[in-house]
Structure formats: structure tokens, C-alpha cells
Amino acid sequence: MDTHAASPITKYELGELLLEIGTLLMVSGANTERIKVTIDRIASAFGCFTNLMVTNHALTLTLTHQDSRKAFTSVKWIPSHHLNFNLIADISAMSWRIVLEKWSVERINHELATLNRKQLYPRWLVLTLVALAGASFCRLFGGNATEMVAVFVASFCGLYVRQEAIKMKFNFYLSIFFAATTASLIAGFYFHFNPDEVYMHAFSTSVLFLIPGVPMIHAVSDLMDGNTLNGIIRAVNVLLMAFGIACGLLVSLLIYKF
């Protein structure tokens, strides 16, 4: 074990670094156990021990080293979540290399700065593929070609509205409501003027691109891992998002009087 790890300055830097990594993981959509394991793994490479409290909006970390009595403790706020699985995969791979290749704090900081935090895919591709996913849902629920086209257009516009609303810093749930309203209005438009066709499939699947799948799965996995509080927070979050979607649908139902 190299001796520099024990010095208070390094411990301060390491603590800040670990909080930064934990924040990035939480924002990108990792579950609580993964954050704990990754931070523990990196700290163990420096011979340090961590006590970490993970909540949805803040991380608290206490870092101790067996040779010294001084501890590093700090709280870091987590900004609003923005899913990025690529970043999670990169950080996970990096954490292993840190342990195996015995990186220094400077090296980790340098690598962390070079990680790709941007979207891998161009915006039009994301919009098209998510719209295609919506159309696939429609097909799986028994829709025909007309309904699939309606859902494709609806999901495309709905996701565009959500991206724009989040860019304009609207409330998160409000932007989901906007997106659900847009999508269901567009999906219902064609069927409003052709009342003899079945609207049900297109209408109910047009908002499925908004389903909060990541917090839904993480709520269950956090509860199973014993991180009960985080699991409950995520579950409540899912309910609020579902409520936003339902309100959007309701607006369209009232407008079109289906």
C-alpha cells in the first residue's frame, strides 16, 4: 500500500472524488447498492473505509483510514436525474481498473474528466427509435397499421415536447404532463374524425414511452437490497409520474369526449 493515501490532503481529495462519482452514478440511474459497492471498491483501493448514506437527493460520506484518526465527512447534493447508462458502464469499468492498476487520485480525476457524459446518439435517432418503440407497443397490444402510425407520430412529438420542457426548466412532473397531453391529443386526433375506428389501442399506448421503467425496477431492487427508504422514495416518484401521465390522458379524454 502506498503511503500517500494516508495523508489528510489526499483523503480530502479522495473524499470529494468519491462523492463526485456517487453523484454521477445516482444522476445516471444506478441503484443504491451499485453506488455503495462502487464507492466502497474505489475506497478500498486506497486502503480507506467508507460509511455512505445514499438518499435520492444527497450523499453523505465518511471516509476513514486505518492509520489515522482523522475522518473526512461531507454531504453532496445530487442534481436532477438524467438517465445515462453509458456513463454507468464506463464508471463501473473504471472502478475495476482503479483497483487492479492502483491509480492515483490525480489519474482518476483526469480520467473522470475525459469520460463521455453526452448523449451517444443524435437527437433525431433517439426520437425516431422511441417513436418506433411506441408503435411496437401498439402492435403488441393488438393495434393495426393506422394505429401504429398514429402512435409513432404521437410518441415522436410527445418526447420532443418533454425534451423541450425539461430544457426550459419546467417542473419535472409538469413536463411529463405536457408530453402525455401532446401525445394523447395527437394519437386521438385521427380517431376523433374517424369515430368508427377503434381508438383504444392507439390512445392508451401513445403515452407508454413515458413510463418510468428505471425507477420502477430500482424501487423493487432497492427494497430487496434492504435500502427500504430509497425504494419507497422511488416508488412514490413512480406514482407521481404515473399520475402526471394519467392527468395528460384525462385532458385529452375530456377534449375529445371519447
Partner 1 sequence: MDILTLLEKGFWLGCAALGFAVLFNAPKRALMMVFIIGALGGLVKIVMVSKGIWLVFSVFSGATLIGFLSVLAAHNRKAPPMIFAIPAVIPMIPGFFAYKAMVGIIELTATKDPQAYSKLFFETVNNGLSAWFVVLALGTGVAIPMLITRRQTVKRLNADDNLEVESE
User: In this complex, which beta carbon is closest to partner 1, that of residue 15 or of residue 134?
Assistant: 134
Interaction between residue 53 and partner 1 (CB under 8 A)? no
User: 3-state DSSP call for residue 229?
Assistant: helix
Interaction between residue 80 and partner 1 (CB under 8 A)? no
Is 52:60 a contact under the CB 8 Å cutoff?
A: yes
Given the rule CB under 8 A, which of 16-24, 54-62, 169-177, 243-251 is the region that contacts partner 1? 243-251
Single residue of 75, 198, 250, 255 touching partner 1 by CB under 8 A? 250
Interaction between residue 202 and partner 1 (CB under 8 A)? no
User: Residue 148: enclosing H or E segment and its boundaries?
Assistant: helix 145-167
Edge-first strand order for the sheet with 71-77 is: 48-54, 58-65, 71-77
Given the rule CB under 8 A, which of 73-81, 171-179, 186-194, 215-223 is the region that contacts partner 1? 215-223
Beta carbons within 8 Å of 26's beta carbon, 6+ residues apart:
35, 54, 56, 59, 78, 81
Single residue of 14, 35, 59, 130 touching partner 1 by CB under 8 A? 130
CB of 113 to partner 1, least distance (A): 19
Interaction between residue 60 and partner 1 (CB under 8 A)? no
Instruction: Compute CA distances 12 → 8, 62, 63, 111, 249, whole Å.
Output: 6, 11, 9, 18, 50
Q: What is the DSSP string of 83-145?
A: --HHHHHHHHHHHHHHHHHT--HHHHHHHHHHS--S-SS-HHHHHHHHHHHHHHHHHHTT--H
Beta carbons within 8 Å of 107's beta carbon, 6+ residues apart:
none
Interaction between residue 93 and partner 1 (CB under 8 A)? yes
Single residue of 53, 129, 232, 255 touching partner 1 by CB under 8 A? 129
Single residue of 160, 204, 240, 251 touching partner 1 by CB under 8 A? 204
Cα separation, 84 vs 164, in Å, equals 18
Residues at the site binding partner 1, with contacts judged by CB under 8 A: 1, 29-31, 34, 37, 40-41, 44-45, 47, 49, 66, 83-90, 92-93, 99, 119-121, 125-126, 129-137, 139-141, 159, 204-205, 207-209, 211, 213-214, 216-217, 219-221, 223-224, 242-243, 245-246, 249-250, 253
